[in-house]
Chain A
Amino acid sequence: MNNAAYNDSSLFHAPMVAEVSEHDHHAAPPTPPATCKLGMCIFLCSEALLFSGLITAYLVLRQSAGTWPPNFGDGIELPPMPKLLTGINTVILVSSSFVYHFAEVAVKKGKSGAGWMLLSAMMGATFVGLQCVEWTELYHEGLWFNKGGVYGSTFFTLTGFHGAHVCIGVLLILWCFFLQVTKGTFTPKRHVALENVGLYWHFVDVVWVFLYTILYLV
């Protein structure tokens, strides 16, 4: 009824665990690149679900509002979304993904690739900048988080969440850039951080394509 029964029988295999604690076997190798990338992909799955939640919220609210922009019956005209400007912005952001890819290709070929990195970070920053211009514009046209009901709420929240992701992405790319310029960290053999930032950056771009479609186009 107690552990006594076990204690004697476990004498059996005491030798199996011999001297483990003698030397510390912990010169743990750095996490292999494949593992790092897998981790990143799993993390991006959860990011995808975050945006799915927001997008679903948007679609549901839009659907149940009847007309879009919704009609609150107060005679206030809600501004349409600036398709063209943002369309150009979309092209910039999507291109930056390709530019980033060139950076990776360059690094794999043993070149620095820092130029491409800087360029893609600048394109990302341009995207954020234009987005800010657009926010200000819409604000002056009477749309804001707290104006225009769900029309304003969803637009600013969704683009805001995405914009925050772009900002983080830009910072990450700049970080890669500085590492590469100052230390030449990324080599053809080892550049997993660069690849992981790339995965993130591509993900953020793809999300934007979805957002652009549902927020501006349809």
Chain B
Amino acid sequence: MKNKKAEQMISVYWFVILILVAVGIYAMIAAYFNYPTDVRQWEAEVLGNRVADCISENGKIVQELNEEFKSNFLIICGLNLEAQKLEQPQFYIEVNFFNVENLEESIFNFSKGNYAWKEQYFLQEEGKFQRVVKGSEKRFYSVDNQGKQILVEVLTVVRKTEKNVKI
């Protein structure tokens, strides 16, 4: 009779241990996968490439660098910065065109998105706010339709902190 009681106690104990181990494993997996993978760097790189592709093809500038392109850049390039319908634009795009003779002053430039992300991006170079935004800077060379040498600088910054970083 006593043996039976002891056996019952042991099986309850095993049951408790089993639950404990299961909860432990669940907690380990939950802790590991609770941190989202930050893909913003890739987003910024891909966005930068899309912008570069829109501006230059086969080494030639394919867009007319005028006010119309400046104001309709997103439509012409088929970009939608508000696709996810978040409170504020989560991207910033800036494109500068330079003449090869003067690399200090851009001959044409435009930007779209939230300017604050650019400021945040450059603050990161000073070691501040490392996780707020991610960005990409690209430079390439192209020739315009008159054969002029044009240098293009594309800056893309992505915020989307809430989706990519555990705060």
Task: Check if A and B associate.
Answer: no
Question: Which of A's residues lie within 8 Å of B, judged by CB?
Answer: none
